[in-house]
Structure 1
Amino acid sequence: MSAARPAGARAGRDDIADVLIIGAGPSGSVAAKHLAEAGFSVVCLEQGYMPDADAYPGRRPEWELVTQKQWHPNPNYRDRERDYPINTAESDVNPLMFCGVGGSATLYAGHWTPFMPSDFRVKTLDGVADDWPFTYEDLLPHLEVIEREVGVSGLAGNPAYPPKLAYPTPALPIGRVGAKAAECLDKMGWHWWPGTNAIPSQPYNGLNACVRRGTCMSGCPEGAKSTTDLTHWPHAIRAGARLVTGARVRQIEVDDRGLATGAVYVDSAGRERRQRAHVVILCANGIGTPRLLLLSGGADGLANSSGMVGKRLMMHPFSAVQATFADDLHSWRGPFGQNIASYEFYETDTARGFVRGAKWGAMPGGGPLGATSFVGSKVFTDPEARVEDMWGANLHDLVLRRFRHTMVWGIIGEDLPEESNQVLLDPDLTDSDGIPAPRLIYKVSENSERMLKFHEDRCVEACLAGGAIETTVVHQMPDTGWHLLGTCVMGKDPKTSVVDEWGRCHDVPNLYILDGSTFPTSAGLNPTATIMTVALRQTRRLIAERRNQEAA
């Protein structure tokens, strides 16, 4: 790639950028920072805006109320101007996302759980899904760089993982919730470890130390949760990257040689614009990326000779167990990241009746609304329950019993890839700019059903051993589709995959995909750590091979 302007100059609207990035979430932010620092002219188009920490509701008394609508993670509920609708009529799980610089991490809990060695070798170990085209060991040097950029807090030495460098900040206090969760697991003789979180325990890389407010999932008003608007974009912009917000991409354009030449987008004033580039990188998440490819390149979409664009959607079926104790756990106190985590039942044991496994993360129960509704009260989960149980004196009794006294175990089970789970374009539904919206087809597999039931039963068993006076299980919660993976699968064979091991599209050699849509498998873990790490690996390769890169 050759520079389109003098060294040090910034890309303007009519310039041809060296690299155009679509999406300013975790993966796009990593690419923008490292490419700009390596001297590339970079333009990033983001359909949302730069977050305003003063707008986050966590400091205000109505915080729990507004998270039910204005700050709900489901874009179909939240329905903000920059959101696009999603047809979920045929999906067992609702996708959760957020449009803006930093992406959906604006609303994540900050669990930092890199994929484990076995997650890259599922076919070899368990005879299902596919192996990745690289290994945990290949990713480890890049992971250690990302953890320093993110400011991860944690305690080194977790025996569930191979040895690695210590985390840049110490682990957050596990608090009374974590201590009680650990007691429950100790009673069973099961593994636990202090939570590792993308939330620093001391000031770090533009982040403040966590004050344990517990409002992580509606944006951190303290600037303590690690999101890339704070940790990566200031560096990228100083290095010359140009960030264009309010830019809704309509189409990726290609020339008569089949090379990507840039993108057409609608700006915040509703005007159609075009950004040209020598190389294009897609980072629009596991729904937005296949949507854009299907909108581009003709009837079958762009980069889709394999027919795999949009196929193999994985969203991590998720169950939760809420346990109430007589002890005062101060369970309104944050962080809402994981206080402790357990990998006791993570690896496959076929005697359980399923393959693969799940991670458990112990979290606080939240405020009064969280204590009664985060994982549902019996009025929502028990067909024998009465509506009256949530009214009047009964509601007061419920709040008094649970508030300050609850912890929640989140159970993330590995979601195996199935081609029938997919992202399509809806024939009727559009966003506010008239661009066709995505339609999901997603059914939870029998393997996932058995897996979740096993883990729920073990979790309840541990809670009762630790003295729980009440447990509530919500099996396979619908509003849990945070982890949008697999819809532009990575692989060596162009006939069965969309991108190669470096994220480059087999069909379009100057079009890259760096988000979680390329993942061959989902693991049973929160994927942000691995998304950012893979993005760094692929970006470093692009930088190293810049002279050999075919470009428009």
Structure 2
Amino acid sequence: MTQASTADVLIVGAGASGATAAKHLAEQGFSVVVLDQGHWTSPSDLPGNHPEYELLWGNHLWHPDPNMRSRPEDYPTNLDDSEQPVYMYNGAGGSTVFFAAVWSRPLPSDFRVRTFDGVADDWPISYEDLQPHFDATDRDMGVSGLAGNPAYPPGAPPPLPAHPIHLTGLRMAEGLNRLGWHWWPGYSAIPSRAHGHQTQCVRLGVCRTGCVVGAKGSADVTLLPDALRHGARIETGARVARITLDENGLASGAVYFQDGEEKFQPAKLVMLGANGIGTPRLLLMSDSARFPNGLANTSDMVGRRLMLHPFGSAVGLYEDDLEDWVGPAGTQIECMEFYESDPSRGFVRGSKWHVMGTGGPLEMATRWHIGEGVSEEPFWGAEFTARMKQSIGHSIDWIVHAEDLPEEHNRVTLDPTIADSDGLPGAKITYTTSENTHKILDFGLNRALEAHEAAGASKAWVTFRNFSSGHNLGTAKMGDDPETSVVDKWGRSHDVPNLYVIDGSVFPTSTATNPTSTICALAKRAATHIVETRREQEVSTA
């Protein structure tokens, strides 16, 4: 087995969390190696670089579901017992290559769900603990936005000015004003002017199919170049099979496959950033005599409490041409009116909304085809032409993100029958949307239809009532008690003191907002802690 020289820090996963940690640790003089089973993605290859981008995005090669994509670097997921698909992307930059770049923060109440609502668990940290790291990662990712949002907690203003509010956002803002509901210009990890390695957004509106001009805050654009510049080594096409332990029970590195060859990367300290599916899969694959149920799993919590963070969608049609294809695609305005718990609604927690464009013709056709109350309407021949003319450029989409509460039966386990291209077990996903989450979505979508009416929509309907967001959270819970959590408040394993988990796996609760900002802040906080306590860290000397 080929063995490289020992790294100070080995990071598994080159997505948002792994790239954040790699950049900051390398800048502080640590020798860093990053292993990712995928590869670098060339902007020229991205679907958004082609007129037929919608067809390319949904086909075999670029589909967000790894089961549909089936590239050699992907691993299969068994969804037989899951109501939701699982979305993720392997490679340098991870799923940020295809995320919408919505960049919003949780609220202080999100960290105290047990205290305020009597469900789930409080986080072992507070919003204030993460605030300086939110501010720092905003700068790293080129966040554009407008300061002064009355629904937001304290923090530095976004480093870049907000994008102009698009016609869709302006129209919906008028409706929300009539209702007296909160709205604010959206926050995006997409620069309104050139910033660092990022070019200025040219508003193509294809953000979710990959930014072809290098503007979007994809980790391969914003973070990994700085990590490389400070000496980090990034190995792509490197599928990790297991994390190894030394004779003292400390993480000593990783065995991985690259180009069909088994290799070993030794390290003094190991960090996992393989997302809420990949991280528990790797921990469960790394079982041993010391950890027969999976590495760092004496609590039996690895893989449990999966939160797929489902969303709903309500689209409205308008007489005016709103040019709804103009970017940024992720958010025009956001609404926090129904974010906090209100017992009178019959459920706990709430939802965050943001206005998006409805995409191109293929996506709009899908919304007609599956929409509640419109799917049975005539839709072929002359009716198809009329409906598409009525809706393309004339539609507004409300995305309603529900807070998905943790439940231990929703989980990731190793599948006994399916395997990836290196023979490693695939992930079995068990997930059922809770009654509380259904209630949040139903309430939010009904209010979104009211917002469309107030904004003057000629027609509005629900297109998705309960669909996976691609936010894979909660499977390596952070907490103070080693019997009920996997990692401590720094992301450090209770069982293996030089093993850290830094991705969305550690979320005790999902919040109702897009998680990437929080994931990056957590990874930055963990990296900062390692730097500040480098002399006290337990490390492998094997």
TM-score category (smaller protein): over 0.9
Structure 2 Cα separation of the partners of residues 389 and 414 of structure 1: 36
Partner of 1:476: helix, strand, or coil? Answer: strand
Structure 1 Cα separation of the partners of residues 332 and 269 of structure 2: 42
Structure 1 Cα separation of the partners of residues 206 and 62 of structure 2: 11
Question: Are residues 384 and 104 of structure 1, via their aligned partners in 2, closer, same or farther at CA, if it must alter by over 3 Å?
Answer: closer
User: Which residue matches 2:406?
Assistant: 417
User: Which residue matches 1:438?
Assistant: 427
> Alignment partner for residue 342 of structure 2, among 341, 349, 356?
349
TM-score, normalised with respect to structure 2:
0.97
In the alignment, residue 86 of structure 2 is paired with which amino acid? Answer: P
Report if the CA contact (8 A) 2:370-2:463 is conserved: no
User: Which residue matches 1:48?
Assistant: 38
Is 1:242 the equivalent of 2:271?
no
User: Which residue matches 1:3?
Assistant: none
Is 1:470 the equivalent of 2:463?
no
Structure 2 Cα separation of the partners of residues 31 and 186 of structure 1: 42
Q: How does 1:255-294 map to 2 (within 5 A)?
A: 255-267=246-258, 269-294=259-284
Percent identity (aligned): 51
> Alignment partner for residue 331 of structure 1, among 324, 327, 341?
324
Is 1:315 the equivalent of 2:308?
yes
Report if the CA contact (8 A) 1:93-1:481 is conserved: no
Is 1:200 the equivalent of 2:188?
no
Is 1:504 the equivalent of 2:476?
no
Structure 2 Cα separation of the partners of residues 140 and 240 of structure 1: 28
User: Which residue matches 1:16?
Assistant: 6
Structure 2 Cα separation of the partners of residues 477 and 122 of structure 1: 22
User: Which residue matches 1:5?
Assistant: none
> Alignment partner for residue 71 of structure 1, among 55, 62, 75?
62
RMSD: 1.3
Structure 2 Cα separation of the partners of residues 411 and 540 of structure 1: 34
User: Which residue matches 2:296?
Assistant: 303
Report if the CA contact (8 A) 2:372-2:462 is conserved: no
Question: Are residues 327 and 383 of structure 1, via their aligned partners in 2, closer, same or farther at CA, if it must alter by over 3 Å?
Answer: closer
Structure 2 Cα separation of the partners of residues 529 and 91 of structure 1: 27
CA-to-aligned-CA distance 1:420-474 (integer Å, 9 cap, x gap): 1000000101111110000010000000111111001111011011111111203
Offset of 1:231 from its aligned partner?
1.0
User: Which residue matches 2:223?
Assistant: 232
Q: How does 1:484-503 map to 2 (within 5 A)?
A: 484-503=472-491
Partner of 1:546: helix, strand, or coil? Answer: coil
User: Which residue matches 2:353?
Assistant: 360
* Count of residues in correspondence between the two structures: 535
Is 1:396 the equivalent of 2:371?
no
User: Which residue matches 1:177?
Assistant: 168
User: Which residue matches 1:138?
Assistant: 129
Offset of 1:89 from its aligned partner?
1.1
Q: How does 1:91-102 map to 2 (within 5 A)?
A: 91-102=82-93
CA-to-aligned-CA distance 1:271-324 (integer Å, 9 cap, x gap): 111101111100000000000000012340100000000000001121000111
> Alignment partner for residue 122 of structure 1, among 93, 100, 113?
113
Offset of 1:78 from its aligned partner?
1.9
Q: Which runs of 5+ in 2 are unaligned?
A: none
Structure 2 Cα separation of the partners of residues 162 and 54 of structure 1: 39
Partner of 2:247: helix, strand, or coil? Answer: coil
Offset of 1:385 from its aligned partner?
4.2
Offset of 1:56 from its aligned partner?
1.0
User: Which residue matches 1:218?
Assistant: 209
Report if the CA contact (8 A) 1:333-1:366 is conserved: no
Q: How does 1:443-458 map to 2 (within 5 A)?
A: 443-458=432-447
Structure 2 Cα separation of the partners of residues 287 and 481 of structure 1: 14
Offset of 1:123 from its aligned partner?
0.7
In the alignment, residue 38 of structure 1 is paired with which amino acid? Answer: Q
Structure 2 Cα separation of the partners of residues 380 and 145 of structure 1: 41
In the alignment, residue 40 of structure 1 is paired with which amino acid? Answer: F
Structure 2 Cα separation of the partners of residues 382 and 116 of structure 1: 32
Partner of 1:280: helix, strand, or coil? Answer: strand
User: Which residue matches 1:209?
Assistant: 200
Report if the CA contact (8 A) 1:509-1:550 is conserved: yes
Report if the CA contact (8 A) 1:323-1:471 is conserved: yes
Structure 2 Cα separation of the partners of residues 67 and 464 of structure 1: 32
Structure 2 Cα separation of the partners of residues 260 and 405 of structure 1: 55
Offset of 1:475 from its aligned partner?
4.0
Question: Are residues 110 and 246 of structure 1, via their aligned partners in 2, closer, same or farther at CA, if it must alter by over 3 Å?
Answer: same
Structure 2 Cα separation of the partners of residues 244 and 389 of structure 1: 52
Structure 2 Cα separation of the partners of residues 129 and 280 of structure 1: 29
Offset of 1:183 from its aligned partner?
1.4
CA-to-aligned-CA distance 1:488-520 (integer Å, 9 cap, x gap): 000111000000111110111111100110110
Report if the CA contact (8 A) 2:307-2:472 is conserved: yes
Offset of 1:384 from its aligned partner?
8.3
Is 1:27 the equivalent of 2:20?
no
Offset of 1:372 from its aligned partner?
2.1
Is 1:62 the equivalent of 2:55?
no
Structure 2 Cα separation of the partners of residues 174 and 515 of structure 1: 32
In the alignment, residue 322 of structure 2 is paired with which amino acid? Answer: L
User: Which residue matches 1:540?
Assistant: 528
Partner of 1:390: helix, strand, or coil? Answer: coil
Partner of 1:90: helix, strand, or coil? Answer: strand
Partner of 2:417: helix, strand, or coil? Answer: strand
In the alignment, residue 33 of structure 1 is paired with which amino acid? Answer: K
